[in-house]
């Protein structure tokens, strides 16, 4: 049995994936295995992957699935001591897997450990994450306020320290513990699955940690300028409304009204600017908020509309 299972979901993007896999192969010495969920891969890219990376365990995923559901396809098959959930648009220049493994072994109080996450230019992208609430979500989604910029006990420290929310691009967790809490909640199609997981861990009285002695690079933001944002944004907002209102009808009504107004304002601004991707994302979000569809159903609707127009 491997000591570490590395789980990666990739949506037919070898440009992102190859540097990630190469860095794993180059810098990892601890006994490990890689589970790659090949999401909507073309036959050509799948053949290249199998030919050039025969050591990767490939799970083909050719139905519409979100980040949580795709990850869970692999997570349910893992039997390693620890699991590293890793985005495909990441890479590292040091033995990150080994270092996270050693840190987990050294700190049994840590249920989850994330590294210091850097942008490709070496600047800090994420060093811990603050707790989230409805107000912070509104500020972040509609006003662009980064909830982790404000100094607190949970962010921007050095060394090994307790944070609140794990870093979704890269984190290591005990596999049996992950299994005991049900892996990722598959209701959340496109965010906030990592925040929901972190919140569950904290509610159970456990903790997430950051070890800034361990570093990795993350591209991030791939859907921000892609037409797929017209499908991911409404699915994301529907998921966030459920999470941040916690089943309370009044809070849900309030957040829905706020989001409809703000999405409407932003949509009109983008419409006058001629930014089709952005204004359609906002108007689709309003329709999604007013519907009873799940985030997955919402994404499927708009994603298929995009595919049919191609």
* Beta bridge partners of residue 162, listed in sequence order: 209
- Place 189 in a pLDDT band, splitting at 50, 70 and 90: very high
Question: What is the Cα Rg of the chain in Å?
Answer: 19
288-309, pLDDT tens digit by residue?
999 999 999 999 999 999 888 7
pTM: predicted TM-score of the whole model, two decimal places: 0.94
pLDDT of residue 221: 56
- Asked whether the predicted pLDDT for residue 310 surpasses 80, the reply is no
Please return the burial class of 3, using the count of CB atoms within 10 Å of its CB with bins 0-12, 13-18 and 19+: middle
Beta strand extents in the chain (DSSP E only): 4-10, 32-39, 56-61, 82-87, 90-91, 112-118, 124-126, 160-163, 170-174, 208-218
Is the alpha carbon torsion for 168, 173, 177, 182 positive or negative?
positive
Q: Give the span between the Cα atoms of 80 and 174, in whole angstroms.
A: 9
Percent of the chain at pLDDT above 70? 98
204: cis peptide before it, omega within 30°?
no
The pLDDT of 176-181, averaged and rounded, is 98
219-238, pLDDT tens digit by residue?
975 444 688 999 999 999 99
Q: Give the span between the Cα atoms of 35 and 113, in whole angstroms.
A: 20
pLDDT of residue 308: 83
**Domain segments of the chain: what residues?**
4-218, 229-309
The pLDDT mean for the chain works out to 95
Q: Give the span between the Cα atoms of 76 and 81, in whole angstroms.
A: 13
The pLDDT of 174-201, averaged and rounded, is 96
* Beta bridge partners of residue 257, listed in sequence order: none
Q: Give the span between the Cα atoms of 260 and 282, in whole angstroms.
A: 9
pLDDT of residue 166: 96
The pLDDT of 4-15, averaged and rounded, is 96
Contact between 215 and 115 under an 8 Å Cβ cutoff? The reply is yes
For 197-235, b where at least 16 C-beta lie within 10 A, e where not — what string? bbbebeeeeeebbbbbebbbbbbbebbeeebbbbbbbbb
Number of helices (H) and strands (E) in the chain: give both, helices first: 11, 10
Structure tokens at 80: 């390693």
pLDDT of residue 220: 74
The pLDDT of 170-198, averaged and rounded, is 97
* Beta bridge partners of residue 56, listed in sequence order: 34
Residue range 4-218, CATH number: 3.90.550.10
């Amino acid at each position: 049995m491997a000591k570490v299972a590395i789980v990666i979901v990739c949506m037919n993007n070898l440009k992102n994936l190859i540097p990630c896999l190469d860095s794993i192969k180059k810098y990892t010495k601890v006994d490990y295995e890689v589970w790659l969920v090949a999401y909507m891969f073309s036959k050509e890219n799948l053949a290249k992957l199998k030919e050039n990376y025969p050591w990767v365990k490939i799970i083909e995923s050719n139905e519409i699935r979100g980040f949580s559901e795709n990850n869970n396809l692999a997570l349910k098959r893992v039997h390693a001591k620890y699991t590293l959930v890793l985005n495909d648009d990441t890479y590292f220049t040091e033995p990150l897997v080994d270092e996270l493994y050693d840190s987990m072994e050294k700190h049994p109080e840590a249920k989850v450990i994330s590294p210091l996450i850097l942008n490709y230019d070496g600047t800090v992208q994420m060093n811990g994450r603050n707790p989230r609430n409805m107000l912070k979500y509104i500020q972040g989604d509609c006003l662009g306020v980064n909830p982790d910029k404000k100094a607190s006990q949970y962010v921007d420290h050095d060394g090994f320290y307790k944070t609140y929310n794990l870093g979704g691009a890269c984190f290591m967790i005990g596999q049996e513990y992950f299994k005991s809490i049900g892996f990722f909640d598959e209701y959340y199609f496109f965010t906030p699955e990592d925040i929901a997981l972190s919140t569950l861990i904290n509610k159970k009285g456990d903790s997430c940690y950051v070890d800034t002695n361990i570093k990795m690079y993350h591209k991030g933001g791939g859907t921000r300028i892609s037409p797929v944002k017209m499908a991911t944004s409404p699915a994301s907002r529907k998921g966030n409304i459920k999470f941040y209102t916690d089943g309370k009808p009044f809070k849900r009504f309030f957040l829905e009204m706020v989001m409809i107004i703000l999405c409407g304002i932003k949509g009109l601004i983008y419409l006058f600017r001629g930014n089709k991707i952005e204004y359609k994302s906002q108007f689709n979000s309003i329709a999604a908020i007013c519907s009873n569809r799940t985030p997955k159903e919402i994404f499927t609707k708009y994603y298929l509309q995009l595919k049919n127009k191609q």
